Amino acid sequence: RALLLSGAGALAALGVGTGFWLNRPADSGPADGAPPAPSPSPSPSSAPSPPPGLVGLWPLDEASGRVARDTVGGHDGTVTGVAWQGAGGGAAFDGTGSQIVTDGPVLKTGAGRGFTVAAWVRLAVVPGVFATAVSQDSADASGFYLQYSSEDRGWAFSRPGLRAVGRTPPAAHVWTHLTGVCDGAARKLRLYVNGVQEAVVHDTASAPATGAFVIGRASFDGQPRDFFPGAIRDVRAFDRALAPARVAKLAQSG
């Protein structure tokens, strides 16, 4: 049977709020004297998503403190002996004991696993010993090393006993972008210097490392080794082997 409504009841039955005019133009502003409607707050989902595969990002732009923030994965690092240089300057490591260490692993580094690590580095001096910018610990030795190799006098992406060594001569006081790519499927280690691939070797020494992710040193024979003398910033970890175009883009970002 028909239901007759009038006034506010009719508007409600039509699904129209009583605070709006049915014949008001769609693009008209608020009524004279009425405050403008508040702008909607941005939705949390509108925040930019991290790039595919990025599981850790340490800008190392803190001004003080004993925590290095991971702004993507939440793997904050405990800082020891590091001098903060502020925005753009990174963290300064003394080459003897400075380090940033997470509570646990960030990457899976064993056989068949693909991953990528990248960092901007600047040597204070060209050392006569190995100097590692980024690694991940195990009970015996690091699962990988993004480093300076004193034996080869070059930048290297390494496993224990295996190194992909670049051709660009390392120099003191020069910011250099290093990227190490482990292509698990192809069993290759690739080193990029300033976005350009400079070395590739067959990965015959894949090592699972289940310890801490470390910035500023490596480990060998179960002991901390290869402390980095200089500054490091914008450290990134990916859970896949990045393609050359993405590596080149990383080197352009700093």
The overall average pLDDT reported for the chain is 86
CA–CA separation, 116 and 120 (whole Å) = 14
Mind listing the pLDDT tens digit for each residue in 196-233? 999 999 999 888 999 999 999 999 998 999 999 999 99
Sign of CA dihedral 106, 110, 114, 115: positive
For residue 13, what pLDDT is reported?
38
Q: What is the pLDDT of residue 46?
A: 54
Tell me which residue has tokens 């040597």: 123
**Among candidate residues 185, 145, 183, the one with its CA nearest the CA of residue 165:** 145
Average pLDDT rounded to a whole number, residues 85-100: 95
Percent of residues, the chain, with pLDDT higher than 90: 75
How many angstroms separate the CA atoms of 234 and 253, rounded?
10
Within 10 A of 230 (CB to CB), how many other CB atoms are there?
Answer: 26
* Tens of pLDDT, residues 31-88: 444 444 444 444 444 557 888 999 999 999 999 999 999 999 999 999 999 999 988 8
Three-state secondary structure call for residue 244: helix
Both tokens of residue 42? Answer: 């941005």
- Encoded tokens for 223: 């002991």
Contact (CB, 8 A) for 140 and 130: no
Q: What is the distance between the alpha carbons of residues 22 and 45, in angstroms, rounded to a whole number?
A: 33
Dist. CA 203–CA 73, nearest whole Å: 27
Domains parsed from the chain with CATH numbers: 56-252 (2.60.120.200)
Segment 113-165, tens digit of pLDDT:
999 999 999 999 999 999 999 999 998 999 999 999 999 999 999 999 999 99
Structure tokens at 220: 């060998």
Predicted model pTM: 0.81
